């Protein structure tokens, strides 16, 4: 098997996402943040499992736009790039 497909970090613990209760009005924004954070560490799947949303979900796009604006203001180019990918 090619080394390109070997996960050398397989023993790393899954990322943990601190989310409010699902019925909390801030849940969707927290879920959007969690999906971007998961993508940032290369583990979108765990964020999808934690939030119940899939990458690119239409419901979260307004929150991702808000997070992208914040990242732009902070000069966080990586988060801007991830947000742009989410919005495609």
pLDDT at 10: 58
For residue 79, the SS3 value is helix
Q: Provide DSSP, 28-77.
A: HHHHHHHHHHHHHTT-HHHHHHHHS--TT-GGGHHHHHHHHHHHHHHT-H
C-alpha 6: how far from its chain's center? 23
For the chain, the domains span 25-87
pLDDT at 41: 94
pTM of the predicted structure, to 2 decimals: 0.84
Q: Is the pLDDT of residue 83 over 50?
A: yes
Query: With bands split at pLDDT 50, 70 and 90, how would you rate the model's confidence at 21?
Result: very high
> What confidence tens digit (pLDDT) does each residue in 50-76 have?
999 999 999 999 999 999 999 999 999
């Amino acid at each position: 098997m090619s080394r390109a497909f070997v996960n050398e970090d397989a023993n790393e613990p899954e990322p943990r996402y601190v989310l409010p209760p699902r019925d909390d009005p801030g849940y969707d924004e927290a879920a959007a943040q969690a999906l971007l954070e998961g993508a940032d560490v290369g583990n979108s799947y765990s964020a999808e499992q934690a939030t119940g949303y899939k990458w690119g979900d239409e419901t979260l796009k307004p929150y991702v736009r808000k997070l992208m604006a914040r990242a732009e203001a902070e000069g966080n180019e990586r988060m801007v790039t991830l947000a742009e990918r989410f919005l495609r």
